[in-house]
Amino acid sequence: MRTGRAQAELLLGPEAPRLRGTLCVTGHHLLLSPGPQDLWLLLLRNVDSIEKRVAGESGTITLRCKDLRVLQLDIEGVEATLDIARSIEALSSLESVITSFPFFYRPKGLRLGDAWHFHPPESYYKRVARETKAWRLSEVNENFSLCPSYPRAVIVPRAVDDKALALSARFRQGGRFPVLSYHHARSGTVLLRSSQPLTGPQKRRCAEDEELLRAVLAGARPGAQGFVVDTRSAQAAKQARMAGGGTEAKAAYPGWKRLHRPLERGRPLQESFVRLVEACGDLEQSTDHWLSRLEGCSWLAHVKEALSTACLTAQGMEREGACILVHGAEGTDSTLLVTSLAQLILDPLSRTMVGFQELVEREWIQAGHPFQLRCAHSAFSHARPKHEAPTFLLFLDCVWQLGRQFPLSLEFGEALLLALFEHAYASPFGTFLCNSEKERCLCEVRSQTHSLWSRLNQPKEQRKLRNPLYVLNPLALWPSVEPQSLQLWQGLFLRWTRPPEPPEVAWEKVWQIVTEKRKTDDSQPTASASEPQP
């Protein structure tokens, strides 16, 4: 490991002023100090790709970051340039979790282990179990033996015992047997998620798995129907049988019907992301070319599909009073996308600041979305993608679209979504580390790193993250999914290319108006309280 030190000039963007100073590579950071007081810092983990060029006595390094920023470093000395480039390359691609920066990050004002129990999914499950009687908290996965990607606590039908769960888990890919994701109290229905059943070419069945789903319907409102929303096409689901997977056969699960809503995943989704970011980086292209690239990358088509599948799911619960089981293949990607969005549509609580954090914790982090694999590289990496896919980003984009269409109904603003995007890809906090709760336990993430949530819930961060116009909206949010209604998320994809000022200035003005109004509203009662009593 070579660490370097050199004189360099940093270009943060096309319009930003240049910073000049001593450049230094440390174990986790790239530092540049333009003056005795100033320090510019980049987490090396944030570097997605690095490009070096030398000419004469100096060199240029272009860093493309996972948060889509592009930085340019002009460095004095050829040797220094090559050294620094090598160091950055080596240090930014370290795979080991326990030597990663979150394990060394000790910010002021935060205590280790403070907020890890801030959003435990158990509290939600306990509430549901209390409210419904048909569901119970099970500790069958206490040591992650049944399903390595599930958390310790899962919530299952009361009528099904742990032994049956174990058998059902053996019938599902990765052991992800059907568990409750959301209980919709108003209609008395539930949203479940799982992975695909391992029916295989022989069309195997599993009595316990069938029993589990039967118990779900029995526990819901009387006469409730069930729908399996398969996030693959019927064709793909059928093909999966050859590889041992498959989908629920109608005859085996009476009362359950199947709907196929194919969602893009894996490599095509990653490619869509890469192509969109590429198009967004081109400042010279014509409007025609831009439109054709926007079409070609299909990103907004994926947004539309994800949103409409979530709407369909939510509608099934609210309008049809049906129980819904969502799964694709592994049940760790598009499945979570659909279940989490459906909750956001239906549940006013999940649209609050705390509720949304809980939702991300429960439906993404605890539910076993493999963040480490999916977010290993962002859109700039030259490495051949293996497991990368921007599923979580797609979720954030869909939430942003909801926020655009219902600007008063989400308690958080765009800034929270941007923060989650950044931290999912590279973070000094432990929240998004590893691929599952099991891995996090092995690495002692909880006790050795800080939680992103405790940072985000500090009062000074909150002002940036909150939506000043929020009012509780008790209804379901049904967004329009027409192409004319969906927009490119400029705040994310064009964050570093557009001049950021005007929108932020306007946002500041909104804040100002709202706080002024609050002040005058608040001053009313105090004014009357100070009135002399007759």
Partner 1 sequence: MEHIRTTKVEQVKALDRFSTSNKSLTGTLYLTATHLLFIDSHQKETWILHHHIASVEKLALTTSGCPLVIQCKNFRIVHFIVPRERDCHDIYNSLLQLSKQAKYEDLYAFSYNPKQNDAERLQGWQLIDLAEEYERMGVPNSHWQLSDANREYKICETYPRELYVPQVASKPIIVGSSKFRSKGRFPVLSYYHQDKEAAICRCSQPLSGFSARCLEDEHLLQAISKANPVNRYMYVMDTRPKLNAMANRAAGKGYENEDNYSNIRFQFVGIENIHVMRSSLQKLLEVNGTKGLSVNDFYSGMESSGWLRHVKAVMDAAIFLAKAIMVENASVLVHCSDGWDRTSQVCSLGSLLLDSYYRTIKGFMVLIEKDWISFGHKFSERCGHLDGDPKEISPVFIQFLECVWHLTEQFPQAFEFNEAFLLQIHEHIHSCQFGNFLGNCQKEREELKLKEKTYSLWPFLLDDRKKYLNPLYSSKAQRFTVLEPSTVSFSFKFWRNMYHQFDRTLHPRQSVFNIIMNMNEQNKQLEKEIKDLESKIKQRKNKQTDGVPTKELLHSIHPESPSLKTSLCFKEQTLLPVNDALRTIEGSNSADNRYSDYAEAFSKSEPAVVSLEYGVARMTC
User: Is residue 529 involved in binding partner 1 (CB under 8 A)?
Assistant: no
CB 157 to partner 1: min, Å: 23
Closer residue to partner 1, CB minimum distance, 109 or 532: 532
User: Is residue 506 involved in binding partner 1 (CB under 8 A)?
Assistant: yes
Could you write out the DSSP letters of every residue in 485-519? T----HHHHTTTTS--HHHHHHHHHHHHHHHHHHH
Is-contact 174 196, C-beta < 8 A? no
SS3 228: strand
Provide the Cα torsion 16, 456, 521, 405; round to 10°. 70
Closer residue to partner 1, CB minimum distance, 106 or 319: 319
User: Is residue 505 involved in binding partner 1 (CB under 8 A)?
Assistant: yes
CB 422 to partner 1: min, Å: 21
Q: Map tokens 């370097």 to a residue.
A: 4
The CA-to-CA distance between both ends of the chain, in Å, stands at 80
Closer residue to partner 1, CB minimum distance, 112 or 408: 408
Is-contact 309 263, C-beta < 8 A? yes
Determine how β-strand 189-193 pairs with β-strand 226-230: unpaired
Q: Contact with partner 1 (CB under 8 A): which of 278, 407, 458, 522?
A: 407
Which residue from 145, 130, 205, 134 is spatially nearest to 175, judged by alpha carbons? 145
Closer residue to partner 1, CB minimum distance, 125 or 496: 496
User: Is residue 259 involved in binding partner 1 (CB under 8 A)?
Assistant: yes
Is-contact 141 147, C-beta < 8 A? yes
Q: Contact with partner 1 (CB under 8 A): which of 340, 350, 409, 436?
A: 409
Which parts of 312-331 interact with partner 1 (CB under 8 A)?
Answer: 312, 314-316, 318-320, 322
User: Is residue 234 involved in binding partner 1 (CB under 8 A)?
Assistant: yes
User: Is residue 511 involved in binding partner 1 (CB under 8 A)?
Assistant: no
User: Is residue 145 involved in binding partner 1 (CB under 8 A)?
Assistant: no
CB 509 to partner 1: min, Å: 5
Q: Contact with partner 1 (CB under 8 A): which of 150, 227, 371, 421?
A: 227
Amino acid at 201: P
**Segment contacting partner 1 by CB under 8 A, of 18-26, 63-71, 143-151, 402-410:** 402-410
Could you write out the DSSP letters of every residue in 8-75? EEEE-SSSSPPEEEEEEE-SSEEEEESSSS--EEEEGGGEEEEEEEEETTEEEEEEEETTS-EEEEEE
CB 14 to partner 1: min, Å: 10
Give the rounded distance of the alpha carbon of 94 from its chain centre: 22
User: Is residue 37 involved in binding partner 1 (CB under 8 A)?
Assistant: no
DSSP 385: P
Is-contact 255 212, C-beta < 8 A? no
CB 282 to partner 1: min, Å: 8
Is-contact 126 137, C-beta < 8 A? yes
User: Is residue 239 involved in binding partner 1 (CB under 8 A)?
Assistant: no
User: Is residue 513 involved in binding partner 1 (CB under 8 A)?
Assistant: yes
User: Is residue 68 involved in binding partner 1 (CB under 8 A)?
Assistant: no
Which parts of 281-310 interact with partner 1 (CB under 8 A)?
Answer: 282-283, 285-292, 294-295, 298, 300-301, 303-304, 308
CB 57 to partner 1: min, Å: 35
Size of site (CB under 8 A) for partner 1: 83
Which parts of 463-502 interact with partner 1 (CB under 8 A)?
Answer: 469, 471, 473, 475-488, 490, 494, 497-499, 502
Residue 430: HSE in the Cβ half-sphere, 13 Å Cα cutoff: 28
User: Is residue 311 involved in binding partner 1 (CB under 8 A)?
Assistant: yes
CB 301 to partner 1: min, Å: 4
Closer residue to partner 1, CB minimum distance, 457 or 487: 487
Which residue from 200, 138, 114, 217 is spatially nearest to 446, judged by alpha carbons? 114
Closer residue to partner 1, CB minimum distance, 17 or 483: 483
Which parts of 197-216 interact with partner 1 (CB under 8 A)?
Answer: 203
User: Is residue 12 involved in binding partner 1 (CB under 8 A)?
Assistant: no
SS3 260: strand
47 forms beta bridges with 65
